[in-house]
Structure 1
Amino acid sequence: MKFNALILAPISGLALAAAAHAQDAAPAAAPTAPPVAAEAPAAATTAVLQQGLQPTAPADGCELHLWPAERMTSQTSGLLGPGLLSSAINGKRDSSNQALMASALDSPSQLNALTALDLRTLLARTPGTTIVLHETPLERHTMNKIKTRRSDSSAKCYSELIVADVFYQKAMMYGRSLRTLFMLRDFGNDQKIDKEYKAWGGNGLKLFPPKEGDDAIAALDELVSVFKGNFDEYARNARKSLAGPAKR
């Protein structure tokens, strides 16, 4: 114990001198091996990277499940308006637009865009709501037919946000726009829908689709930005519509 106490005690002047002498007399230390580079930290999970997935309170048992849209539609019409002739004239352009839309707004990109927003506040969810992502889109023809939960979750507080359609339109009268169809369904502690709100959000475009020589990246980024704006518009209306009592 005394030895330990000496080691921990402040070193006196005599002890410092002795230590210096011992250091001078000691043989040169062998060169140490270079430090091993620390391993790069594991890539952060999607949940960590996405702000919207971070709850502001401990989980409270509520769940919000998200599904992206599979269907991308482009409709370009001129003076004659939409129709068979317009489709024949603009079919190639619309096919190109759909490919660009699918690139900018594929399933992961839609989920990333939505979870970058404060979904709990925008949709009036509890602060402790757990957000669950489903990367595989639902089949479009089943969205209105199936009235039960689309996941196997048994959470007592459960809701679903489904992106149904992503629709680009260029019309002679209204210009270019991106419209998105969303569906929010609230369930009780069972398989029956308590509340449901389905509606479009839509905003104008300035850069998409890019022409030859344009900045294609900026045009695709605009799609993502307008997609978020469409949801913000939808969410404002959804909060008002769902504010009333549940209808069983």
Structure 2
Amino acid sequence: MIRVWVASIASIITAASAGAQTPTAPAPACELHVWPAERFNARTTGWGVGFGLIGALADSAGHADGDAQRRTSLSSALDSPGQTAALNSLALADLLKQQPATVILHDAPLERHSVNDIKTRRATSSSPCYSELIVADVLYQKAAMYGRSLKTLFIYRQFGDAPEAKRIYKSWGGNGLKIFPPKPGDDIQAANDELVSVFKADFEEFARNEVAAQTATR
């Protein structure tokens, strides 16, 4: 009887433990909406830019076909899903030093011409702690003196509980490239991976500058 009673108690405790649910933390009230870039560009400049307007025009014409190919490669490696996936792999709210937020990714880019004109919320949301991160432009640049780099223009807009942005911070992040664009016979995937990595580094640079600018205004 004693053994049966002990076993029964143990069964009750086990059942109670199995039925108990661990409380889950409530979802953050803040929302951070993220949009990828619509516009890509590639700009190569040689030594011709140092010889006045005629030299600059000749230099630009000489690189036009190559820049068109590089622009296509850039938009393929950093398409909309690629941009949002890269940003989503980062702790965006932490890097921006904002309150914990639910990150909401938007697949379709905003029309570039509307990004600066529309100051109201771009997403339908009633969040009392709402913000937006917009990738405005992605630029591959090669300069004869400075080498190759990927520059990305980000716009961070903070609304709080308001329908219009209370604060807008807009700035470039830029970092050097060693592999992209790949030469014939090079590993294309390695070049694409480098673009994604440098794209994330661009955002991290942007976030550091944003936090510094926000701290300076306090």
The bucket for the TM-score relative to the shorter chain is 0.7 to 0.9
State the 1:217 CA deviation.
Answer: 1.1
In structure 2, distance between residues paired with 1:120 and 1:196 = 16
Question: Is 1:63 aligned with 2:36?
Answer: no
* Deviant stretches of 4+, over 2 Å: 81-84, 242-246
Match in the other structure for 1:9: none
Which structure is richer in relative contact order (CA contacts within 8 A, separation 6 or more)?
Answer: 2
In 2, are the aligned partners of 1:195 and 1:242 still within 8 Å (CA)? Answer: no
2:96 paired residue among 109, 123, 129: 123
Question: What's the RMSD between the two structures over aligned residues?
Answer: 1.9
State the 1:103 CA deviation.
Answer: 1.1
Match in the other structure for 2:190: 218
* Structure with max Cα Rg: 1
In structure 1, distance between residues paired with 2:35 and 2:161 = 21
Question: Is 1:146 aligned with 2:146?
Answer: no
In structure 2, distance between residues paired with 1:244 and 1:213 = 49
Question: Does the residue aligned with 1:211 lie in a helix, a strand or coil?
Answer: coil
Q: Deviations over 1:185-227 (max 9, x none)?
A: 0002121211111000000100010111111111111000000
Match in the other structure for 1:161: 133
Match in the other structure for 1:136: 108
State the 1:245 CA deviation.
Answer: 6.8
Q: Relative to 1, partners in 2 of residues 1:177 and 1:154: Cα closer, same or farther, differing over 3 Å?
A: same
Q: Relative to 1, partners in 2 of residues 1:244 and 1:193: Cα closer, same or farther, differing over 3 Å?
A: farther
State the 1:88 CA deviation.
Answer: 1.5
Instruction: Give the partner amino acid of 2:26.
Output: P
In structure 2, distance between residues paired with 1:75 and 1:237 = 25
Structure 2: which 5+ runs fail to align?
5-23, 50-54
In structure 2, distance between residues paired with 1:180 and 1:193 = 22
Structure 1: which 5+ runs fail to align?
6-55
In structure 1, distance between residues paired with 2:170 and 2:84 = 18
Instruction: Give the partner amino acid of 1:102.
Output: S
Q: Relative to 1, partners in 2 of residues 1:91 and 1:190: Cα closer, same or farther, differing over 3 Å?
A: same
Question: Is 1:87 aligned with 2:60?
Answer: yes
Instruction: Give the partner amino acid of 1:194.
Output: K
| TM-score with structure 1 setting the length | 0.73
Q: Relative to 1, partners in 2 of residues 1:218 and 1:117: Cα closer, same or farther, differing over 3 Å?
A: same
| TM-score with structure 2 setting the length | 0.83
